[in-house]
Amino acid sequence: MSDSASAPEATRCGFMALVGRPSVGKSTLLNRLLGTRISITSAKPQTTRQRITGVLTEGADQFIFVDTPGFQTKYRSALNIRMNQAVRDALAEVDVVVALFDAARHTDADEALLSLLPPGKPVIAVLNKIDLLADKTALLPRLDALSKRRPFAALIPLSAEKGVQLDALKAEMAKHLPMAPWLYPPDELTDRDERFLAAEFLREKIFRLLGDEIPYSTHVVVETFEQEGEQDRARRRIQARVYVERDSQRAILLGHQGQTMKRIATEARQEMERLFGGSVYLVVLVQVKPGWRGDARSLQRLGL
Ligand SMILES: Nc1nc2c(ncn2[C@@H]2O[C@H](COP(=O)(O)OP(=O)(O)OP(=O)(O)O)[C@@H](O)[C@H]2O)c(=O)[nH]1
Ligand SMILES: [Mg+2]
């Protein structure tokens, strides 16, 4: 990439953290802002487990978004402690904080998040999911209550899913971008490599296709990732291992005659082919590893 051809002379570049309680729509918002699905989403809370950066370059501006795990106060496993820490780290590192709230309700986790917001930084409050509000006047008391809690650079009601009011959010974020050289080439989408994204897409399908228990007992590791040929025409051979905590979970994940896993793997492969270009040959193995979530050493070995 030749910088002289692509980067304007006076560029702006800054980090923005997307924070909020589980399921509030952080990853949906990131994908909408980028126009591409790089961060996995599902109706189940705690879908995002590790921070993922999304890069949007428009005109002279480069926004580097940091999508974080949902901040929660209910559970305290080693994994959950690590996930909350990822939120605190992101808040400390960025230039601007985009704090998401649900337009319809305020919970204890929202309160906990409000008290974490750094006093010295611009914080933009987003009230998401306005498409679900039958009565839009219900927004007014929410906006009023939030604005009394701390100073916000702006309060923006929007719908990440429907793409409503995203321009207002972008305009507000742009106001706080520092003058700085771009950190990524303008066509870069994320700091995460294809290996990470492959594991995430597999995890997304597990979150979406299985019930309320299994997704939380599951971790995915990509063991081999081989590529033959050039980017768009490449053929990727990927072997992934899914860890679960019990034999009974392994049976559910595989399904009758392996049908459940087959569907999960097919849908994940299609997502990979769409994002990476080229074809993907995906093999998925399932292994039982009791108690991996509660054990800090296991988490480290699994790269979490
Ligand atoms: N109706 C509606 N649903 C939305 C909107 N934004 C997100 N959702 C849905 O809310 C659910 C959670 O979205 P995610 O983007 O995964 O939420 P998240 O905040 O990243 O969640 P965690 O990663 O678990 O913390 C998904 O089912 C989304 O489709 C919105 O504006 N309107
Ligand atoms: Mg998420």
Rounded distance from Cα 77 to ligand 2 centre (Å): 19
Pocket around ligand 1 at a 6 A CB cut-off: 20, 22-28, 41-43, 45-48, 69-70, 128-129, 131-132, 159-162
pLDDT tens digits for the chain (304 residues)? 444 446 788 999 999 999 999 999 999 999 999 999 999 999 999 999 999 999 999 999 999 999 999 999 888 888 899 999 999 999 999 999 999 999 999 999 999 999 999 999 999 999 999 999 999 999 999 999 999 999 999 999 999 999 999 999 999 999 999 999 999 999 999 999 999 999 999 999 999 999 999 999 999 999 999 999 987 789 999 999 999 999 999 999 999 999 999 999 999 999 999 999 999 999 999 999 998 888 778 888 888 8
Which atom of ligand 1 lies closest to the CA of 71?
A: 25
Residue ranges and CATH numbers for the domains of the chain are 3-175 (3.40.50.300), 194-301 (3.30.300.20)
Mutate to test the pocket of ligand 1, among 18, 24, 28 (most ligand atoms within 8 A of CB): 28
Question: Tell me, what's the pLDDT at 6?
Answer: 65
Distant-in-sequence contacts of 253-257, Cβ < 8 A, 24+ apart:
253/206, 253/210, 253/214, 253/218, 253/286, 254/286
Residue nearest to atom 4 of ligand 1 (CA): 161
Q: Is the pTM of this model over 0.75?
A: yes
239 vs 284: CA distance, rounded Å? 6
Closest by CA to 224, choosing from 210, 243, 240, is 240
Probe residue for ligand 1, chosen from 41, 129, 133, 162 as the CB with the greatest number of ligand atoms within 8 Å: 41
Q: Which ligand is nearest to the CA of 20?
A: 1
In the block, which residue shows the tokens 């995890």?
203
